[in-house]
Amino acid sequence: MPISRRQLAASLMTATHIADRHAIAAFIADPATQSAPNPFSQTSAGAVRQVWRQRAAEFRSFDIASAGLVDLLATVADMAVDEVLAQEILRAGPHTANVFHHGDGCRIVGAALYGRPGVGLPDLPMPRSLRTALRRSSGMRGAGEQLDLFAGLNP
C-alpha cells in the first residue's frame, strides 16, 4: 500500500533523531513534490550505509547541499546490516528526498534531502495543515502557552 506524502511528512516530524526533519517534511509536503521512480523500494540497512557513505563523499566533492544525511548515517551505523528497510524517493525541480523507514511509513529511520551541485536547499514553510495536525497529535503548546523556564532566575 503506497504511503501518502502527508503521512510520510507527519511521520518524519515525529522522528526527533533527525535534526533537519522540519525542512525535509516541508519539502515532502510541498504540492510540487512528487514520488519518483524507485527501483530499490526494499533495501537493507547495510546497503543504505554503503551507498550513502559514498554519496556523502560525493556531495562534499561536488559542493552538493544536503539535509539529514549525517543523522541517516549515524542511525544506520547502529543497525544490523541485514535489517530490511523501505525507501521512498520524492522529487521537485533540482531537489530529491530519500526517506527510509521500517516498511510501515511510520517508523522513520532517516532521510536525506539534496539538490544538484551549487544549488542550495529549498526554503519551504511547513504547511499549516501539517503544523496543526502535529500540534494536535503531540500536545505541543501554542505560542501563548509557552513555558518560561527562566522566569524565576535572577539575571
| Tens-place pLDDT, residues 49-107 | 999 999 999 999 999 999 999 999 999 999 999 999 999 999 999 999 999 999 987 89
Q: Specify whether the CB–CB gap between 72 and 78 falls below 8 A.
A: no
Please name which of 31, 35, 52, 33 lies closest in space to residue 105, comparing C-alpha atoms: 35
Is residue 151 one of the residues assigned to a domain?
no
Residue type, 82: D
Is residue 152 one of the residues assigned to a domain?
no
CB atoms within 10 A of CB 14: 15
Which has more confidence, 155 or 116?
Answer: 116
Q: How confident is the model at residue 144 (pLDDT cuts 50, 70, 90)?
A: very low
Is residue 153 one of the residues assigned to a domain?
no
Is residue 44 one of the residues assigned to a domain?
yes
Is residue 90 one of the residues assigned to a domain?
yes
pLDDT tens for 109-122 read 999 999 999 999 99
Per-residue pLDDT, 142: 46
Domain count, the chain: 1
Q: Specify whether the CB–CB gap between 96 and 113 falls below 8 A.
A: yes
The angle formed by the CA atoms of residues 145, 151 and 153, to the nearest 5 degrees, is 160
pLDDT tens for 13-22 read 999 999 999 9
What is the residue range of 125's domain? 5-145
Question: What does the buried/exposed string (b/e) look like for 118-135 if buried means 16 or more CB atoms within 10 Å of the residue's CB?
Answer: eeebbebebbeebbeebe
Is residue 154 one of the residues assigned to a domain?
no
